[in-house]
Amino acid sequence: MSFAAYKQADLEKFSGDGAEIENYLRQVRASRNLSFTSLISVDDLNMEDVKLLFDLTVAFKKLAVSDRKKLSLLRGKSIINLFFENSTRTKTSFELGGKHLGADTINFSEKGSSAEKGETVGDTAKTLDDMAADLIICRNSQAGMPYLIAREIDAPVINAGDGRHEHPTQALFDAFTICENLGDFSGLKVCIVGDILHSRVAGSLMRLLPRLGIELHLCGPATLLPEGVDQFTKNIHYDLDKIIGEMDVIYSLRVQSERDAMRYIPSKREYSKNYGIGVRRLGLVKQNAIFMHPGPVIREVDLSSEALGSSHCKIDDQVTNGFCLRMALMWLLIDRI
């Protein structure tokens, strides 16, 4: 399957007229549907699902940058953000995306809820399901929790990050961003750099990228590379300087201090010296290489201000594409044919 078509220029085929785009969305949709009912892992998707999501993301992106953002595709539907961990980008993009689709979106936060009285996450989810929620988006510090919830309730569930396990929507729009910037996936070299051990983003990227034809590389301190990681790739490195010049994508990760990751490295300074992208490493990368990061970036540790301000950096594209791909996914999961 070819993904080569996803470039910025593709947006030009739409005039930006809302009705035209809504028409296109419905047309693409009419003949295809997702093969899964909840998104827990990137392994739930087949390549047709990925292609459908990308096709719709292109159109949603055109809408997102136009004046007519608001649609009525999900009018009358309710979406609940069930977040038991902190979030800026993920929570906001699901909430705002749901609103642009015309749905009522509600943010559940643990603080002030019955969870503080001892109710389990599963029982909380069941309560929200009993209020006829049409979609539950779940973030939790425990791996597997969205899977358990999806088994118990009727509404579709999207995993918005479960512990160190997976963050599937992040990997999907990251793949879209790679394709949009660099064209066809095949033969591209992508290196995930840093705290791979604690990163659910890496968990999803490692499962998805090789299936798209990408050559996956991992680079980080030995203490932050999980056991068994060689099932995803044999390209494992410890010295970033040796390989950085060959990479098409350098995907940086922060040290997840909330998961006790500081115990695995001598200091943040040392981590930055060995794995951060600063002025010196800017001079080592390929001319067309791109820098990516799921956010939040720890400025001057993961990436320097110079790297963040350089034309290599595509973090803004990731954020916009995340918002657009999540709109496509929410629409597909709620409004099934």
What are the percentages of helix, strand and coil residues in the chain, rounded to 5?
Answer: 45, 15, 40
In whole angstroms, the minimum distance from the beta carbon of 139 to ligand NCD comes to 7
Residue written as tokens 């209020």? 131
Q: Which is nearer to ligand NCD, 21 or 325 (CB)?
A: 325
Here's the x/- map for ligand NCD, 52-91, by CB under 6 A: it reads as -------------------------------------xx-
| Beta-bridge mates of residue 83 | 109, 139
Applying CB under 6 A, does 295 fall inside the site for ligand NCD? Answer: yes
Residue with Cβ nearer ligand NCD (73 or 250)? 250
The residue (of 66 and 141) whose beta carbon lies closer to ligand NCD is 141
Burial of 36 (0-12, 13-18, 19+ CB in 10 A): middle
- Mark residue 295 as left, alpha or beta (left: phi above 0; alpha: psi -120 to 50; beta: remaining): left
Q: Name the closest residue to ligand NCD (Cβ).
A: 294
Can you spell out the DSSP letters for 307-323? Answer: HHHSTTB-HHHHHHHHH
Binding to ligand NCD in span 166-185, by CB under 6 A? 167, 170
Choosing from 254, 281, 312, 314, the residue that interacts with ligand NCD (CB under 6 A) is 254
Residue 254 CB, nearest distance to ligand NCD (Å)?
5
| Crossing angle of the two packed helices 145-152 and 121-130, in degrees rounded to 10 | 40
Q: Which is nearer to ligand NCD, 81 or 170 (CB)?
A: 170
| CB-CB contact of 203 with 227 (8 Å) | no
Query: Which residue in the set 161, 168, 194, 276 belongs to the binding site for ligand NCD (CB under 6 A)?
Result: 161
Residue 336 CB, nearest approach to ligand NCD (Å): 26
CA distance 52 to 223: 38
Which stretches of the chain bind ligand NCD, using CB under 6 A?
89-90, 161, 167, 170, 200-201, 254, 256, 294-295
